[in-house]
Amino acid sequence: MNPSRKPLIAGNWKMHRTVSESVALARAVADTSRIGPRTEVVVAPVFTALQAVAQALVGTRVTVAGQNVYFEEQGAFTGEISAPMLKDVGCAWSLVGHSERRQLFGETDASVQKKLFALRKHGLAPIACLGETLAEREGGVTYDVLRRQLDAMTASLDAQEATALLTGLVLAYEPVWAIGTGRTAKSSDAQSAHAFLRDRIRDRYGEVADTVRILYGGSVKPDNAAELLAQPDVDGVLVGGASLDAAGFARIIQAAG
Q: Which residues contact 35 (CB under 8 A, 6 or more apart)?
A: 41, 61, 62, 253
How large a percentage of the chain has pLDDT more than 70?
A: 100
pTM: 0.96
Q: How many CA atoms lie within 13 A of 218 on its CB side?
A: 26
Q: For this structure, is 72 an active site residue? A: no
Q: What is the pLDDT of residue 177?
A: 82
Four-way CATH pick for 8-255: 3.40.190.10, 3.20.20.70, 3.30.465.10, 3.40.50.300 = 3.20.20.70
Q: What pLDDT sits at residue 43?
A: 98
> What is the per-residue pLDDT across 27-79, written as a single tens digit (0 to 9) for each?
999 999 999 999 999 999 999 999 999 999 999 999 999 999 999 999 999 99
pLDDT in tens, 141-165: 999 999 999 999 999 999 999 999 9
| Residue 234 Ramachandran class (φ > 0 left, ψ -120 to 50 alpha, else beta) | beta
Q: What is the pLDDT of residue 176?
A: 87
Tell me which of 98, 122, 136, 194 is the catalytic residue.
98
Contact 118, 71 (CB under 8 A): yes
Distance in angstroms (rounded) separating the CA atoms of residues 155 and 19: 38
pLDDT in tens, 180-203: 777 777 899 999 999 999 999 999
Distances (CA, A) of 103 to 5, 11, 99, 106, 176: 30, 20, 6, 6, 9
What pLDDT band is residue 134 in, cutting at 50, 70 and 90? confident
Task: Kindly name the residue from 40, 136, 174, 194 that is annotated as catalytic.
Answer: 174
| Residue closest to 36 by CA, chosen among 10, 8, 58, 12 | 8
pLDDT digits (tens, 9 = 90+) for 10-24: 999 999 999 999 999
CA distance 38 to 209: 20
- Side chain identity at residue 155, one-letter code: A
Asked about 21 being catalytic, the answer comes back as no
Which residues have a Cβ under 8 Å from the Cβ of 157 and sit 6 or more positions away?
165
